[in-house]
Amino acid sequence: MGRRRSPRGRGEWDQTLPGFSETKRAETAGVSDCWSLRLSRLGELQARNGVAPSLGRRVGRERSSDQGGERCAVEEGVFKEASATASLRDLGGHTFRMLVPALLVLLFCLRGHAGLSPHFLQQPDDLVALLGDEARLPCALGEYWGLVQWTKDGLALGGERDLPGWSRYWISGNAASGQHDLYIRPVELEDQASYECQATQAGLRSRPAQLHVLVPPEAPQVLGGPFVSLVAGIPANLTCRSRGDARPTPELLWFRDGIRLDGTTFRQTLLKEGTTGSVESILSLTPSSHDDGATLVCRARSQALPSGKDTAITLSLQYPPVVTLSAEPQTVLEGEKVTFLCHATAQPPVTGYRWAKGGSPVLGARGPMLEVVADASFLTEPVSCEVSNAVGSANRSTALDVQFGPILQARPEPMSVDVGEDASFSCAWRGNPLPRVTWTRSGDAQVLGSGTTLLLPSVGPEDAGDYVCRAEPGLSGLGGGAAEARLTVNAPPIVTALHSAPAFLRGPARLQCLVFASPAPDAVVWSWDEGFLEAGSQGRFLVETFPVPEGREGQGPALISVLHISGTQESDFSRGFNCSARNRLGEGGTQVSLGRRDLLPTVRIVAGVASAAMTLLMVVIGVTLCCWRHGKASFSKQKNLVRIPGSSDGSSSRGPEEEEIGSGEDRGPIVHTDHSDLVLDEEGALETKDPTNGYYKVRGVSPPTSPDSCMTALQMKSPGIFNLP
């Protein structure tokens, strides 16, 4: 029967099994050393006895023709015989000297006859066999036809070829040619032992041959497999374990996609008896969400199974949500609608969404979508989406590119500086894109500067006033505007005289001056020739000072100071009064004069007006009396109809003459009077009572043929006063 070949050559396993062939090598070296020693001694003996060196060479040739089964004992006998021959030289002298070569030849012939004795043609060597395979231990003998047996750890297996009692053992080969090979099939662990081939009748024993039984490793076990659940981002250990009686101890390796993984820790557990119980390999890793569904392989391999056996596991990753947040559109004008989309992948599935703006929750927003109307706040307050599941939560945020018009953030502050110092104004506008900011003076279109700051170096009084910070509207046309700030230039007071009314001699008078000062004046003083007065009264003089509601732009608050004079004198009209004010920067003042009014022109005007009024009054009275008398006479002569409202029938009668008069003229107005207007004088005649005392014209009816009447005369003399037909 043929022997199954081991996965590796014998030379390879010789290196891995200590002491495997030492016996053979030592035996070979011993034989060589023995022959070298003996040949050197034989040469010495030949030299001492005068034997030709050819004898040594002949002996060497004879030795080379011998089989490998000779031992040093034979050579030792030869050398003893050579020693005896040397002693003969001493005893027999020259007589025996010629017999020595013959004796030596005889001895070596006897030695050649010894090469036909039983000997080993092939001895077993150490062998490595896999569990379950077939093992063959060779043994071949020459010049031997007796009983051959094998021993296992010194125990004889038997002399028969089929080895009764050993069902898996048998001896095979051509016995006639001396072939006695031991076969074992299938090899089991108990077969690992030391074996010898023995020729019992010849007393020959082969060198011991060690049979090593290799046990291939079983498929390893991964704890928690075949599906291992891990949490992304949390370090974890994967344990691969190999159990059983694998020989030698297997090596455990980790692979992913055919690539060996590093970062493993190897651990071996020993049983109490000292044999290997189990081996483990621990792979440390920190998984990510990308490892979900990945396949890892643990491989157990050894010399018994170089290809190894694999066990695969699949990673099932649990990980918190992976969130992406987008806005559509990302760039938007203020007031337009924007939609935020929050997309998340998670294992286990998502359990909730939470929206916030600028860190504050957006009430009512629960799903993966949020719709808003964009305003300027979205530029600085990003929108965030937080997604949660059973493992954890993740948050993403984004800010909108909201375009909006300028919004005033910081107004310019009023400034108050001294003359010659620098003044600056600052204002801040916010907008997207950034607005263009310009500076002008109030009421003037000239641009003084641009940017958020305006610098006015070395200001003077003329620089005082209001300054305007203006921002242009944005792309949307919204926003923009202006903000003002006043520059007050601190300077010495400016005093201006106000118009004062002329005064009568010995009458009251009032003088006024206007004071502009920043800072406010410490005092306003009126002075004249013989004195001065700041406040209060002094003799005929009284000073009052009060503020003006609105002062001049940029020149600080205004004050009006009034000097009252009671009982003016001649000297008051000829001298000047000084109004002055002072502050920490200096003093200013002006002179105010008092005007005089004369009494004569006024009296003349009043007298002329009174004379004209008297003349007009007399004329009016005369005309009134004349008209009244004439009306009385005509009333008594004419039968004028007097309509009395209280009459019984309520109607009026008309005489024939009145009808003729009424028909021949333009119907003029008829005076209607009631009963209360009629009075009776002493003579029993009726008189008409004028309730207006002559202010209203009373028209009477008279015959047109009376040209010398009063009315006619008045009409002719004064046609412009009365308008009669």
pLDDT band for position 373 (cuts 50, 70, 90): very high
pLDDT of amino acid 119? 93
pLDDT of amino acid 673? 35
pLDDT of amino acid 608? 78
pLDDT band for position 184 (cuts 50, 70, 90): very high
pLDDT band for position 108 (cuts 50, 70, 90): very low
CA–CA distance from 178 to each of 126, 162, 164, 201, 531 (Å)? 21, 17, 21, 14, 167
Strand order through the sheet with 169-172: 135-137, 181-184, 169-172
Let me know: does 315 contact 230? Beta carbons within 8 Å: yes
197 forms beta bridges with 150
Give the closest residue to 246 by CA, choosing from 226, 268, 265, 272: 268
* Separation CA 150–CA 154 (nearest Å): 9
Give the closest residue to 700 by CA, choosing from 688, 708, 691, 692: 688
DSSP readout, 527-579?
Answer: EETTEEESSEEETTEEEEEEE-SS--TTS--EEEEEEEESS--HHHHHSEEEE
Give the closest residue to 390 by CA, choosing from 354, 355, 350, 353: 350
Let me know: does 192 contact 213? Beta carbons within 8 Å: yes
pLDDT of amino acid 691? 41
149 forms beta bridges with 198
User: For 199-208, 434-443, 683-692, which range has the lowest pLDDT when averaged over its residues?
Assistant: 683-692
Q: Is the dihedral of CA 62, 63, 68, 74 positive or negative?
A: positive
What is the number of alpha carbons within 13 Å of residue 121 lying toward its C-beta?
14
pLDDT of amino acid 678? 34
User: For 358-367, 412-421, 593-602, which range has the lowest pLDDT when averaged over its residues?
Assistant: 593-602
pLDDT at 634 over 80: no
Let me know: does 429 contact 402? Beta carbons within 8 Å: no
What value does the mean pLDDT of the chain take? 74
pLDDT of amino acid 269? 67
3-state secondary structure of 119: strand
Phi-psi group of 520: left, alpha or beta (phi > 0 → left; psi -120 to 50 → alpha; rest → beta): beta
DSSP readout, 296-324?
Answer: EEEEEEETTEEEEEEEEEEEEEEEEEEEE
pLDDT at 661 over 90: no
Residues 361-382 have a mean pLDDT of 90
Give the closest residue to 599 by CA, choosing from 503, 501, 509: 503
Phi-psi group of 479: left, alpha or beta (phi > 0 → left; psi -120 to 50 → alpha; rest → beta): left
pLDDT band for position 243 (cuts 50, 70, 90): confident
**Which pTM was predicted?**
0.43
pLDDT at 700 over 80: no
Higher pLDDT among residues 561 and 263, named by residue: 561
pLDDT of amino acid 611? 84
pLDDT at 363 over 70: yes
pLDDT band for position 111 (cuts 50, 70, 90): very low
- Helices and strands per DSSP (H, E), number in the chain: 10, 48
Give the closest residue to 78 by CA, choosing from 48, 52, 46: 46
**Token pair 């009244």 is at which residue?**
628
pLDDT of amino acid 530? 79
pLDDT at 7 over 50: no
User: For 24-28, 423-427, 452-456, 471-475, which range has the lowest pLDDT when averaged over its residues?
Assistant: 24-28
Higher pLDDT among residues 278 and 515, named by residue: 515
CB atoms inside a 10 Å sphere around CB 395 = 14
Residues 503-527 have a mean pLDDT of 89
pLDDT at 252 over 70: yes
* Separation CA 466–CA 12 (nearest Å): 105
pLDDT at 647 over 80: no
State residue 505 phi and psi, 5-degree precision: -60, 135
pLDDT band for position 55 (cuts 50, 70, 90): very low
Q: Is the dihedral of CA 692, 695, 697, 702 positive or negative?
A: positive
Span 24-39, pLDDT tens digits: 333 333 333 443 434 3
pLDDT at 88 over 80: no
Please name the residues in contact with 621: beta carbons below 8 A apart, sequence gap of 6 or more. Answer: 694
pLDDT of amino acid 585? 87
Give the closest residue to 355 by CA, choosing from 385, 325, 381, 382: 385
Give the closest residue to 688 by CA, choosing from 633, 645, 725, 646: 633
pLDDT band for position 571 (cuts 50, 70, 90): confident
pLDDT of amino acid 39? 39
pLDDT band for position 711 (cuts 50, 70, 90): very low
Higher pLDDT among residues 24 and 619, named by residue: 619
Angle at 106 between CA 105 and CA 108, to 5 degrees: 65
User: For 164-178, 435-449, 708-722, which range has the lowest pLDDT when averaged over its residues?
Assistant: 708-722
Higher pLDDT among residues 6 and 555, named by residue: 555
The dihedral over CA atoms of 646, 651, 657, 660, expressed in degrees to the nearest 10, equals 140
pLDDT of amino acid 684? 38
pLDDT of amino acid 553? 57
Span 685-694, pLDDT tens digits: 333 344 434 4
Let me know: does 143 contact 116? Beta carbons within 8 Å: yes
pLDDT band for position 116 (cuts 50, 70, 90): confident
* Separation CA 426–CA 531 (nearest Å): 50
What are the structure tokens assigned to 558, written together?
């205004």
Span 214-225, pLDDT tens digits: 999 889 999 998
Percent of the chain with pLDDT over 70: 67
* Separation CA 483–CA 407 (nearest Å): 11
pLDDT at 97 over 70: no
Percent of the chain with pLDDT over 90: 36
